[in-house]
Structure 1
Amino acid sequence: MNERVDPQVLARARARVLGVPSTDAAEPVPSGVRTATDGARVWLLPEWPDGATPALLEEYDTAPMPLDRAGQARRVLAAALRCCWLRLDDAPWPGTAAPVGHVLEVYGGMTRGDADLARRWATGELRRLADTGWLLLDEDAGTVRPGPRTALWPEGSLASLRDLLRRLPHPPPSAREESAGE
């Protein structure tokens, strides 16, 4: 049996098992993937067929972002982008690292209820978003930045996201000052 597996199918299967793997920038890129690079590393992102809606991907159990609490995950992602994508006229990728505490503070400004519970849930969502490539979380350094999946957002889709982020609570002043000095 000498059947050849479609590289795009193989890439999607690898992404499903491994998440969003990264490799050294000098390594060759396999077929069936798109890449996002920040200079030293290249993230391998599967190419989904044209017209593959989230509902279709979910039907085949290949949802690109498995979510238990989808609304909360979207709010945590928005809070992280608010802190890491400070120059909204630029592309979100590769973004700027921001302290996790700043993200949790912005998220806290977006929610009501028990603040401690919200922080714990948001911390869990940060980890899930990192596992699926939407964010890069460095728990040792206590920082987060946009993940390689944000590099795939087409420019035409960013206008409404930029508008939304402008309406969110501002990151703590130190985050804005650090970005202005870069």
Structure 2
Amino acid sequence: MDERDIALWWAKIRSGGPQRVPPGGATPTGLRRLVEADAQAVWLVPNLPESAGPAVLDEYGLPSQSVVDHKGTMRVLAACLRCCWANPGSDLWPGETAALDQVAVVFAHLTPGRGTRDRHRTLLGGVRRLDRAGWLRYDEARRTVRLGARVASWGSLDLSTLRELWRMVPSGDDQSQPHKAGGSR
């Protein structure tokens, strides 16, 4: 792979986020491959150090925050993480497929007091925004979600925080209130 090919791949990543490609191809310098669970495709994502702050991301032309920070969208992401990351002791990506209905149950726990219609609209809007940004993969026909390749870019400090938050979010299986940190599980 020559410099021109590498530059083209980086341009694709910068403009469209993680790129899904068939397995078996070369990996451009500075990118890493994430194999999907069924091994039918791989994702090319930037291989940046954990310490990469806004200045480094700016230098590479990558957005430091690709999703508008709406509280509803962040709660949607939290609900999807809870449903798609069955075991917080395991790797986050690729996770598991979750039914949108299961995510909706968890999201309802995270948004008490909202009406059903408003909650549904916020959930779908958040899932679609997160899908476009590469944080989730949403299959509208099957009404399922999976974690997107972009979550693999989170570093160990991020994952430590996410594991703690994961324990506080109720699963879609139970009807209880969110679990308190340090509570039995």
**TM-score, with normalisation over the residues of structure 1?**
0.78
**Which residue in 2 is equivalent to 1:98?**
98
Q: List runs of 5+ in structure 1 lacking aligned partners.
A: 174-182
Residues 98-157 of structure 1 show CA distances to partners (whole Å, capped at 9, x for unaligned) of 001111221121013233112212211111111222111111111111111222323443
How many residues of Structure 1 are paired with residues of Structure 2 in the alignment?
170
Distance between the aligned counterparts of 1:40 and 1:9, measured in 2? Answer: 25
Q: Which residue type is aligned with residue 96 of structure 2?
A: T
The equivalences for 1:28-107 within 5 A come to 28-38=26-36, 39-48=39-48, 51-54=51-54, 57=57, 62-107=62-107
What secondary structure is seen at the aligned counterpart in 2 of 1:103? Answer: helix
SS in 2 for 1:76: helix
Kindly provide the amino acid, as one letter, of the partner of residue 87 in structure 1: N
Output the aligned Cα RMSD. Answer: 2.8
Given that 1:35 and 1:43 are in contact with CA atoms closer than 8 Å, whether structure 2 keeps it comes out as yes
2:169 paired residue number: 168
- Are 2:67 and 2:133, in contact at CA under 8 Å, matched by a contact in 1? no
Where does residue 126 of structure 1 map in the other structure?
127
**Higher mean Cα deviation, 150-159 or 128-137?**
150-159
Contact 1:93-1:151 within 8 A present in 2 as well:
yes
What is the CA–CA distance in structure 2 between the aligned matches of 1:54 and 1:72, rounded to whole Å? 24
TM-score (structure 2 length as normaliser): 0.77
The residue aligned with 1:14 is 12
Code of the residue aligned with 1:132 in structure 2: it is A
Q: State the secondary structure of the residue aligned to 1:118.
A: helix
Say whether the 8 Å CA contact 2:67–2:130 is kept in structure 1.
no
Shift of 1:53: 2.2
Verify the 8 A CA contact 1:85 1:96 in the aligned structure 2: yes
Identity value in percent: 34
Residue 110 of structure 1 is matched in structure 2 by: 110
